[in-house]
Structure 1
């Protein structure tokens, strides 16, 4: 196996420790910045966009007004001093995100930068800095620990805001206590899912609500490794149009909250009508996680593992991201 894949695997299996370290770095008053704000605007690129989406779902579940934007979309939105911007960037060096932060600062908008790299340029534009502790040895690999650490940070901050959101806090405590078990479960699930994937065919990752974030991250992992064509689809939207282009050697994974007979019917349609290879993924009941917001983290780990084990099976000598594709755009 190549050194590149080994580095990616080390980052993935380091997530249990990364989550615990990050939890210790969350300050008890971090949520104060959200008080009195009319709207919370989250943005990020790549995996960090997925983290921002989880933040949006979290704040919406608490009755707060929250939206997610890609950094380049900020120019289409009127931002004021009544808004709070939370910019998510693992490395702190995304060009588009830094430009968006510059614009928000010119408009007098309060900014939080959630990052794993406090020395990154994005931190220069932060009124408040939220720092994760992933222990990443490089930001030039497929993100994993940096992603779930940022998810955990946002959820922990949100759990400070509303004392009535007890299930979120309870589930976060359980996840941190059972982080090693969650990682072990994720590797077993990811390895089994990888057996279904046919190289260069489509893998549809289907979900809804917060767990759509795990589907989006899974899509990114498969596309980063270039081993299959990752497609994230909202559950209902798949029924309306994705279904019409599915076939041949395509696979699908349905990412669930708590599985139900309705989910089995959905999977049967994928399997029997579309002749697709189908996998159902839901966070292990043994973890005791009842909040779909927290379930996103182990489900994301499982999708990271699935992409890694797929490329390990079919392209173990992969030295880096696909060329010249990886250099088509300057993003850092």
Structure 2
């Protein structure tokens, strides 16, 4: 996945280069192995790009010196072709009169490239994206006008994309979207288009979300969009005002976004629960669907899968046939009428989740989505939708969004099965208390675990998904190998690795303390060093035990495991906001 930004103005200036750079810094969470910028001025198109971060490439290529009335910017996470100067975007045609940036994957690029090369086109990179400017060039050669040539190029693509293109002599940015996010910002005498709202939020709060299959162009004063069938879209009906500002997407004095966003969890949970309480009609409809479903298939990827597994266990305890499904393994489940899919994705654009719901929906299932991004692809393709209100999350590792996912699912479960769902109006206080009471302990645990090579995270029952999330978090940001197991399963193999000093983190939500205590003693007998996160029932057998009282154990434990991972990363001198080889939103297979 990648971050893209386009800006078009009535005036040619160097100011647009500064706006482009600042936008790319806010998009860098989407990818950061190479960066590039294209400008279009009265002198034509100029491209400057290189391997490296936004800051490195800005200095190396002197991007602030660029001038123009249109700018495209791109920050890349490699999918086709290694991170390099020549694989960096933008890519151009043979003449250098067309420049393109792209987020996504083009499945048929090898066939298209072979055909274009047979027609005399010369390629300079290993990327799939480079076929796009050459396709546009080829169609223009055949007599098409610029927009028709762009549409013909897009129709030739098999895959996913958010594409921006500029053509010398045109005062337009052409765009197309399929399966990857793209949103327009409407300014005064200046318009913007980007992968995410924070890219242009300092300059406008008026936005227009582009839907799948739509194609069009942007001038400095207007927007033109066609749908899949070539019908003109009334853009005025789609304009809305965002209710948060760019400060929400800045560090606000914190050392990293990750720690800032952990501390934002109480507000995120409060806003999410408040939103659900004001939308009980939808919650009631979804609850009825859950109760009536023959099967409930809960799907997500990574952190979202762990939240879904927690929910699936709750449903199973109520006698509901529930299948927790890792989204990328969707082909192992055949959907049918009577199935209900609960699809969980922070971004609402996760390609694995999209593929899973499309397959299962085509086989007769209904879909409920839980996302953090309004009008995202997954939400649009769902029969029912729930929006978390976590606000933008910049850190690659999910923190406040995991906690709000759990809060959303707890609310839905409580409402559907007659539990005390109104008590969740105070859930934010439990989260805040957990952060305030445990941060010092979490720091100590994280610093100790950072020195280890291997860790086990163990839990039973509803603690298991939290143990899985704890292991994932510390792996993601501190690069320490960690595995999660059901605590009772550990004696069926994993315990063979335990020796003197081997660290084991037990997650104790207070539900099965005696059973868990047996597992603790088994590990201690082999020399394991025991760390414990306990809620409501203290075990007292750990080297270091973090203890909390809470009405909502999962919501209290969530920020603690995140804090441990954060401080483990920081103690090793790592940047937890940009873990290697990872990006925020996975929009490619």
Partner of 2:508: 256
Q: How big is the shift at 1:274?
A: 2.5
Q: Provide, for residues 83-110 of structure 1, a one-character-per-residue CA deviation record: whole Å limited to 9, x for no partner.
A: 1101000011211111112112222311
Are 1:50 and 1:217, in contact at CA under 8 Å, matched by a contact in 2?
yes
The equivalent position to 2:433 in structure 1, one of 172, 181, 190, is 181
Alignment of 1:18 onto 2:268: yes
Contact residue 338 and residue 364 of structure 2 kept, 8 A? no
**Which shows bigger deviation, 108-117 or 192-201?**
192-201
Q: Which residue of 2 aligns with 1:48?
A: 304
For residues 8 and 151 of structure 1, what CA distance do their matches in structure 2 show? 18
Residue 111 of structure 1 aligns to a residue in which SS? Answer: strand
For 2:444, the equivalent position in structure 1 comes to 192
The change in CA–CA distance for 1:282 and 1:173 in structure 2 (over 3 A counts) is: farther
Q: CA deviation at 1:289?
A: 3.4
Q: For residues 393 and 328 of structure 2, what CA distance do their matches in structure 1 show?
A: 29
> What secondary structure is seen at the aligned counterpart in 1 of 2:367?
strand
Q: C-alpha separation between the residues in 1 aligned to 2:298 and 2:575?
A: 37
Which segment drifts farther, 5-14 or 258-267?
Answer: 258-267
Aligned counterpart in structure 1 of residue 336 of structure 2, from 65, 80, 84: 80
Figure out how many residues of one structure are paired with residues of the other and give that number: 319
Matches within 5 A, 1:276-287: 276-283=528-535
Going from structure 1 to structure 2, the CA distance change for 1:76 and 1:269 (only over 3 Å counts) comes to closer
Aligned equivalents of 1:303 and 1:5: distance in 2?
19
Counterpart of 2:561 (choices 282, 299, 303) is 303
The secondary structure found in structure 2 opposite 1:117 is coil
CA shift for structure 1 position 113: 0.9
CA–CA separation in structure 2 for the residues paired with 1:109 and 1:317: 42
Could you say which residue in structure 2 is the equivalent of 1:32?
A: 285
SS of the counterpart of 1:231? strand
**Other-structure match for 1:102:** 358
SS of equivalent to 2:448:
coil
**Unmatched segments (≥5 aa) in structure 2:** 1-250, 538-546
The 8 Å contact of residues 266 and 429 in structure 2, kept in 1 or not, is answered as: no
Worse-matched range after superposition: 188-197 or 40-49: 188-197
Which residue in 1 is equivalent to 2:571?
A: 313
Deviations 1:265-321 (A, max 9, x none): 5334323x332221111125796535xxx3122112111110001111122556721
Aligned with 1:130 (options 366, 386, 397):
386
- TM-score scaled by structure 2? 0.51
Q: Secondary structure at the match of 2:535?
A: coil
Structure 1 residues 171, 204: closer, same or farther in 2, change over 3 A?
A: farther
Distance 1:189 1:31, change over 3 A: farther
Which structure dedicates a bigger proportion of its chain to helix?
1
Cα 1:319–1:44 change in 2 (3 A) is: closer
Question: Residue 86 of structure 1: SS of its match in structure 2?
Answer: strand
Query: For residues 170 and 205 of structure 1, do their structure 2 counterparts lie closer, same or farther at Cα, with a shift above 3 Å needed?
Result: farther
SS of equivalent residue, structure 1 residue 51: helix
Question: Does the CA-based 8 Å contact 2:301-2:326 persist in structure 1?
Answer: yes
TM-score with structure 1 setting the length: 0.87
Larger RCO, structure (CA 8 Å, separation 6 or more)? 1
Deviation at 1:43, TM superposition (A): 0.3
CA distance in 1, matches of 2:293, 2:457: 34
Cα distance in 2 for residues equivalent to 1:300 and 1:173: 18
> How much does 1:223 deviate?
1.2
1:289 aligns with: 550
Deviations 1:103-138 (CA, angstroms, capped at 9, x unpaired): 122223110110001232222211111100112242
Partner of 1:223: 475
| Greater displacement, 30-39 / 172-181 | 172-181
Q: Which is worse superposed, 261-270 or 120-129?
A: 261-270
Pairwise CA RMSD: 2.5
5 Å-filtered alignment, 1:139-178, equals: 141-163=396-418, 165-166=419-420, 169=421, 172-178=424-430
Flag the 1:248–1:228 CA change in 2: closer, same or farther, 3 A.
farther
Larger radius of gyration: 2
Residues 144-200 of structure 1 show CA distances to partners (whole Å, capped at 9, x for unaligned) of 01111011111101111122x34xx37634533433212213424422321431435
* Counterpart-to-counterpart distance in 2, 1:130 and 1:146: 13
Task: Kindly state the Cα deviation for residue 240 of structure 1 after the two structures are TM-superposed.
Answer: 1.4
Q: Secondary structure at the match of 1:72?
A: helix
Q: Which residue matches 1:326?
A: 582
